[in-house]
Amino acid sequence: GEDVEQSLFLSVREGDSSVINCTYTDSSSTYLYWYKQEPGAGLQLLTYIFSNMDMKQDQRLTVLLNKKDKHLSLRIADTQTGDSAIYFCAVLRTGNTPLVFGKGTRLSVIA
């Protein structure tokens, strides 16, 4: 089945850019998502990209997709302490298939 891998930890200084990486195995993945989870909370949809796109920018967030390498990244510009959270990469083939998640990357922002 589908496998999604992420590095577990990332630490950055406030004001720097953060880059969180993700790899996946299913080339049929149609939608690729980034969700944010703060302590004790549910999942907040941050952004997503369709598989026919290479890049998507949304304010401080930039998503890059390399379909050949099955690699997805999320760049957060001007990282703030409020960005400290766990970030999950998730992939979806179609609406009636399961969303498959990575284990999450814990982002720590140092003031």
Partner 1 sequence: DAGVTQSPTHLIKTRGQQVTLRCSPKSGHDTVSWYQQALGQGPQFIFQYYEEEERQRGNFPDRFSGHQFPNYSSELNVNALLLGDSALYLCASSSLAGRKDTQYFGPGTRLTVL
- Looking at residues 35 to 64 of the shown chain, list those that interact with partner 1 (rule: CB under 8 A): 35, 40-45, 48
Q: Please report whether residue 28 would count as binding partner 1 according to CB under 8 A.
A: no
Nearer CB in complex with partner 1: 14/23 = 23
**CA-based nearest residue to 85, from 32, 36, 48:** 36
**Tell me, what amino acid is at 89?**
C
Q: Please report whether residue 97 would count as binding partner 1 according to CB under 8 A.
A: yes
The rounded distance, in Å, linking the Cα atoms of 21 and 42 is 21
Spatial neighbors of 51 by CB under 8 A, at least 6 apart, are 29, 30, 31, 32, 65, 67
The residue within the footprint of partner 1, chosen from 20, 72, 91, 100 (CB under 8 A), is 100
Q: Please report whether residue 92 would count as binding partner 1 according to CB under 8 A.
A: yes
Piece of the chain touching partner 1 by CB under 8 A; list 17-25, 32-40, 53-61, 62-70: 32-40
